[in-house]
Amino acid sequence: MCQTVAMDRDPTTRPDPVDLITDQWAQVRPDLRTDAMAAFGRIYRIARTMGDRMERTYARYGISRGEFDVLATLRRADAPHSLSPRELTATLMLTTGGMTGRLDKLERAGHITRSPDPHDRRSVRVTLTPAGLDLVEAAVGAGVTVQQEALEVLTGGEVAELNRLLRLLLGATSH
């Protein structure tokens, strides 16, 4: 009896909503191997949940997750933290229309400037303003804290193993 109680407290042995789904499939299609369905179902649910948490975190700074991505991409660029819209679009895998909307909003808010590219008359450079730099510094710190809190259920070794496995899976599914 004590062992059952201890197992019920261990979240790795307690059934989750994905188990319910795969158990239902096992009833109606016992020929299906549902281990992949279970893994990707959990990955999808984690991504959706964490995406929502990150959106709420960045909203406290007056920006969306997409706008944060633009600011963070500029922040990671060498000083003066400037890229072309094409470079931003390629890095963030966005359409040019989607990028333009984000840039317009960030420029109106004073977080970026757009100026002519000194090396190409047909292009512009998008540059973080000092206010944009301050904003992204605060937002990235808050975002990493939320992510770290989510991983507190794992040991350092488990986080390293999770990253190793996810890197392997990402590599296998990216082509």
For the chain, which residues make up each domain, given as ranges? Answer: 16-59, 65-138
* pLDDT computed for residue 4 by the predictor: 41
pLDDT at position 119, please?
85
CATH 3.30.360.10 fits 65-138, yes or no: no
Confidence (pLDDT) at 61: 97
Spell out the per-residue pLDDT of the chain, length 175, in tens. Answer: 344 444 455 767 788 999 999 999 999 999 999 999 999 999 999 999 999 999 999 999 999 999 999 999 999 998 899 999 889 988 888 888 888 999 999 999 999 999 998 888 888 999 999 999 999 999 999 999 999 999 999 999 999 999 999 999 999 998 7
Q: What is the pLDDT of residue 8?
A: 53
Instruction: Supply the pLDDT for residue 9.
Output: 59
Q: How much is the pLDDT for 146?
A: 98
Q: Three-class SS string for the chain?
A: CHHHHHHHHCCCCCCCHHHHHHHHHHHHCCCCCCHHHHHHHHHHHHHHHHHHHHHHHHHCCCCCHHHHHHHHHHHHCCCCCEECHHHHHHHHCCCHHHHHHHHHHHHHCCCEEEEEECCEEEEEEEEECHHHHHHHHHHHHHHHHHHHHHHHHCCHHHHHHHHHHHHHHHHHHCC
pLDDT of residue 7: 45
